Amino acid sequence: MGGEGYIPLFETTRARGTLAYRVFASTIFLGICMIWAYRLSHVPSEPEHGPIWVWFGLLAAELWFGLYWVLMQACRWRLVYRRTFKDRLSHRYDKDLPGVDIFVCTADPAIEPPMMVINTVLSVMAYDYPPEKMSVYLSDDAGSNITYYALLEASQFAKHWIPFCRRFTVEPRSPAAYFRSPSSDQLSANGKNEELSAIKKLYEDMKNRIETAHELGRISEDIRSKHKEFSQWDSYISRQDHNTFLEILIDRTTRKAVDAEGNALSTLVYMAREKRPQYFHNFKAGAMNALIRVSSAISSGRIILNVDCDMYSNNSESIRDALCFLMDEERGDEIAYVQFPQNFENVTKNEQYSSSLRVISEVEFHGLDGQGGVLYIGSGCFHRRDTLCGKKIGREVITRWSENSGIDPNGGIYKPEELKKLASCSYEENTEWGREMGLKYGCPVEDVITGLSIQYRGWRSVYFNPRRNAFLGVAPTTLLQLLVQHKRWSEGDFQILLSRYSPAWHGLGKISPGLIMCYLPYCLWAPNCLPTLYYTIIPSLCLLKGISLFPEVTSPWFIPFAYVIFCKYAYSLAEYLWSGGTVLGWWNDQRIWLYKRTSSYLFAAIDTVAKLLGFSETAFVITSKVAEEGVAQRYEKEMMEFGATSPMFTILTTLALLNLVCFLGAALTGFASGGAGFFGSMLLQAILCAVLILINLPIYHGILRKDEGKMPISTTVASTVIAVSACTIFVSF
Ligand SMILES: *[C@@H]1O[C@H](CO)[C@@H](O)[C@H](O)[C@H]1NC(C)=O
Ligand SMILES: CC(=O)N[C@H]1CO[C@H](CO)[C@@H](O)[C@@H]1O
């Protein structure tokens, strides 16, 4: 292994311009220090500068922002990019490729329609990989017989779809995505129209049958009589109360597992683990752990890929890409998992909800990779089965890929009843599952905490971001969905910080200090709400009252403020554009940044504290993947969607109105008292307030709009009352 004549399977390159960036960042840091110095040296003594706590509050907020900015630099300090050599892999290992088990998780047929789920399943079944070494598992946490029926239909359709993919090297291999992509037009232009229409017809027929069943909400007698396994559902009580349903739809150990052309097909398994009201189900982590056990008895692939049911594979070669890292003779043995970015199909040009997480996937994750390993983000990730099950890094893990190519020698010798036990509620009692084994329980971001604990055991991880997206999913299409999603993420990350896996006090000596710094900004998302709220409220109120909080334009202390603000935003714009966004997209990103901090993060922080004090339980809210007609239209038009009452909207509207009142009030007083002098001493504050108004334009628009997605009247009224009273109270004291 390795040594002489070793030719790597992947290559790592450093980003260029790192030195220039570091110098630039250092000058910003200098500016930040000067801002701190200004705050400390100019503590006001006369009472006309307002109460002293205002000043110290600003100092605290600026200290926080400055230190947070320093932490953020760790993810930009050493960016690395990866490239794979799949031809070398095929050349060296073609006969010895390991078994790969693919887990697809779904949780609710109403939110994640069965057609979407099976398109994802079909796209991964069609990977360019030896089918006898690949097994696909669908975990259905709703235990829905409709989803099972859809998968049954998909297993029949796969017999035609996979040979079709192979014959015409179809890309992408999700049928729905392929039929709407230009490459299918290409095929018909090449005179293969007949084949294309034939497969399209099969697909449409299947789609009709599934959607009919979905709408009816039940399976017809006709189908039930043909497929005895539906009788399993006779005992179904509710989503929270049912037996294990487990069915091997395609079993590669039997001779029936062949496609229409007689080639082998990969194994396909449906699993709905047992659910009982008296056992907590642990959300997706619980499903994943049941899948790990069930698959270990069926196929026991050495590599596990997990994808969310809305993330179809857009590249049939991704398994080989991932194996280039895991099987590299020299460095592969220290890599626990290979994470691909989550990319989204549904983003509009200027991404008004900024849901593509552009900067995170194009910049920050490359930085984490450079510091020792990216986060595990729950979808599009290839794991070693061993590490997921708690194995420490060490000599004995050196994997001999050639022996027993990952297929369990006992594969295929399983009794259905034994298998079902593995997915039962009581199986995990008094075991290490959810702690040392499998994914961790008790955290809303089970993926991140699991990835972190793997890194604590000495492993590193790799981030692979190929130009052609490997996985494509559906992004949230309303503001509320986005805010709820971020509440869960920030709450989970904050809980990690306070848990016994905290990077802050548990990470030292286990992972590099650079990586600790990279994790911290994510873990500190939630507490960010306080300084942000302070900065969006207090300076504006002080503007209204005529209290100056920032240096005058003529003062030399003005320079560090101007420099830091200008450089930070100019750089952030450049970074966003460089990541492939638009200028308007960046502006929208700034708005969402503010909205997340003042609403999602605030509720996340409150809930985390409440949970620490023993008040509430976590509730895992999945964000909807289907959009109603009007919502979808407004989404396409990039019009912000409110339309629901939510305390989050009340806060956002209150802040928007408060700043408007302050600015208008201050403008009136300013003109009354002679204008120029007033604004000269208040310039930064006035700019801050004006920018907050500009960024909130969609909210004012939402208040005035008439369509379904407008801001609810009750929210507007409540917010107006709160904003006006806050201004009145502050001014009169
Ligand atoms: C998805 O794959 C197709 C090729 O099949 C490619 O043309 C397209 O650019 C990919 N999509 C994205 C968003 O990368
Ligand atoms: C929810 C939503 O907007 N879904 C759309 C996502 O994009 C595909 C095609 O790109 C549309 O068909 C969906 O309606």
Give residue-wise pLDDT tens across range 590-638: 999 999 999 999 999 999 998 888 876 655 455 555 667 788 899 999 9
Bond from prior residue into 51 cis (ω within 30 degrees of 0): no
Has 386 been annotated as catalytic?
no
pLDDT band with cut points at 50, 70 and 90 for residue 531: very high
Q: Is 469 in the pocket of ligand 1 (CB under 6 A)?
A: yes
Ligand 1, atom 9: closest residue by C-alpha: 468
SS3 at position 81? strand
CA distance 113 to 622: 13
Q: Are 433 and 363 in contact (CB under 8 A)?
A: no
pTM for the complete prediction?
Answer: 0.93
Render pLDDT for 262-276 as a digit per residue (tens, 0 to 9).
Answer: 899 999 999 999 999
Give the mean pLDDT of the chain.
91
**Catalytic member of 141, 328, 589, 607:** 141
Q: Which residue has the higher pLDDT, 389 or 179?
A: 179
Beta strands in 309-434 (DSSP E): 312-313, 335-339, 343-344, 381-384
CA distance 595 to 591: 6
Beta strands in 436-586 (DSSP E): 460-463, 471-473
SS3 at position 8? coil
Between the two ends of the chain, the Cα-to-Cα distance in Å is 76
CA distance 400 to 713: 66
Joined tokens for residue 486: 């971020």
**How many Cα atoms sit within 13 Å of 688 on the Cβ side?**
23
CA distance 493 to 443: 8
Joined tokens for residue 602: 């605030």
Q: Which residue has the higher pLDDT, 248 or 644?
A: 248
* Mean pLDDT calculated for residue range 3-16: 87
Among 350, 322, 316, residue whose Cα is nearest residue 337? 322
Q: Is 348 in the pocket of ligand 2 (CB under 6 A)?
A: no
Domains of the chain: 97-475 (3.90.550.10), 513-732 (no CATH)
CB atoms within 10 A of CB 83: 12
List alpha helices for 401-478, DSSP H.
416-422, 446-456
Render pLDDT for 160-174 as a digit per residue (tens, 0 to 9).
Answer: 999 999 999 999 999
CA distance 383 to 411: 20
pLDDT band with cut points at 50, 70 and 90 for residue 44: confident
Q: How does DSSP classify residue 298? A: H
pLDDT band with cut points at 50, 70 and 90 for residue 258: confident
CA distance 565 to 62: 12
Q: Is 477 in the pocket of ligand 2 (CB under 6 A)?
A: yes
**Residue 184's pLDDT is what?**
87
Joined tokens for residue 54: 């205002």
Q: How does DSSP classify residue 136? A: E
Q: What would you report as the CA-atom Rg of the chain, rounded to the nearest whole angstrom?
A: 28
Q: Are 602 and 486 in contact (CB under 8 A)?
A: no
Render pLDDT for 650-704 as a digit per residue (tens, 0 to 9).
Answer: 999 999 999 999 999 998 887 667 666 666 788 899 999 999 999 999 999 999 9
Q: What spacing in Å lies between the alpha carbon of 127 and ligand 1's midpoint?
A: 15
Nearest ligand 2 atom to the CA of 635 is: 3
* Mean pLDDT calculated for residue range 542-559: 91
Place of tokens 């202390």: 557
Q: What spacing in Å lies between the alpha carbon of 625 and ligand 2's midpoint?
A: 9
Place of tokens 């302050």: 662
Q: Are 323 and 89 in contact (CB under 8 A)?
A: yes
Among 427, 334, 337, 330, residue whose Cα is nearest residue 380? 337
Q: CA of 505: how far to CAs of 375, 497, 500, 517, 583, in Å?
A: 18, 9, 8, 12, 39
Beta strands in 223-302 (DSSP E): 245-250, 267-272
Q: Are 374 and 85 in contact (CB under 8 A)?
A: no
The DSSP code sequence of 675-728 is SHHHHHHTHHHHHHHHHHHHHTHHHHHHHH--STTSPPHHHHHHHHHHHHHHHH
**Residue 140's pLDDT is what?**
97
Q: Is 589 in the pocket of ligand 1 (CB under 6 A)?
A: no
Q: Are 84 and 321 in contact (CB under 8 A)?
A: yes
Q: What spacing in Å lies between the alpha carbon of 317 and ligand 1's midpoint?
A: 13
Q: Is 171 in the pocket of ligand 1 (CB under 6 A)?
A: yes
Burial of 277 (0-12, 13-18, 19+ CB in 10 A): exposed
Q: What spacing in Å lies between the alpha carbon of 525 and ligand 1's midpoint?
A: 32
Has 589 been annotated as catalytic?
no
pLDDT band with cut points at 50, 70 and 90 for residue 405: very low
Q: Is the pLDDT of residue 66 over 70?
A: yes
What is the number of the ligand closest to the CA of 465? 1
What is the number of the ligand closest to the CA of 171? 1
Burial of 588 (0-12, 13-18, 19+ CB in 10 A): buried
Render pLDDT for 689-709 as a digit per residue (tens, 0 to 9).
Answer: 999 999 999 999 999 999 889
Joined tokens for residue 216: 């009816």
Residues in the chain: 733
Q: Is 627 in the pocket of ligand 2 (CB under 6 A)?
A: yes
- Secondary structure tally for the chain: helices H, strands E: 29, 13
* Mean pLDDT calculated for residue range 539-567: 93
SS3 at position 488? helix
CB atoms within 10 A of CB 574: 11
Burial of 426 (0-12, 13-18, 19+ CB in 10 A): exposed
Place of tokens 């699991």: 450
CA distance 290 to 273: 7
Percent of the chain residues past pLDDT 70, beyond the cut: 93
**Catalytic member of 310, 447, 493, 607:** 447
Q: Are 396 and 289 in contact (CB under 8 A)?
A: no
Q: Is the pLDDT of residue 51 over 90?
A: no
Q: What spacing in Å lies between the alpha carbon of 341 and ligand 1's midpoint?
A: 14
Q: Are 437 and 340 in contact (CB under 8 A)?
A: no
Instruction: Give the helix, strand, coil percentages of the chain, each rounded to 5.
Output: 55, 10, 35
Q: Is the pLDDT of residue 70 over 90?
A: yes
**Residue 332's pLDDT is what?**
93
**Cβ within 8 Å of residue 493, ≥6 positions away:** 445, 448, 522, 523, 524, 525, 526
Q: Which residue has the higher pLDDT, 255 or 299?
A: 299
Which segment of 102-106, 112-116, 195-199, 409-413 scores lowest on mean pLDDT?
409-413
Percent of the chain residues past pLDDT 90, beyond the cut: 75
Q: What spacing in Å lies between the alpha carbon of 715 and ligand 2's midpoint?
A: 30
Q: Is the pLDDT of residue 148 over 50?
A: yes
Render pLDDT for 417-458 as a digit per residue (tens, 0 to 9).
Answer: 888 999 999 999 999 999 989 999 999 999 999 999 999 999
Q: Is 346 in the pocket of ligand 2 (CB under 6 A)?
A: yes
Q: Is the pLDDT of residue 408 over 50?
A: no
Ligand 1, atom 1: closest residue by C-alpha: 314
Which segment of 13-17, 406-410, 523-527, 555-559 scores lowest on mean pLDDT?
406-410
* Mean pLDDT calculated for residue range 325-333: 93
Q: Which residue has the higher pLDDT, 402 or 118?
A: 118
Bond from prior residue into 172 cis (ω within 30 degrees of 0): yes
Q: Is 345 in the pocket of ligand 2 (CB under 6 A)?
A: yes
- Cross-strand pairs, 248: 269
**Residue 402's pLDDT is what?**
39
CA distance 601 to 598: 6
CA distance 426 to 120: 31
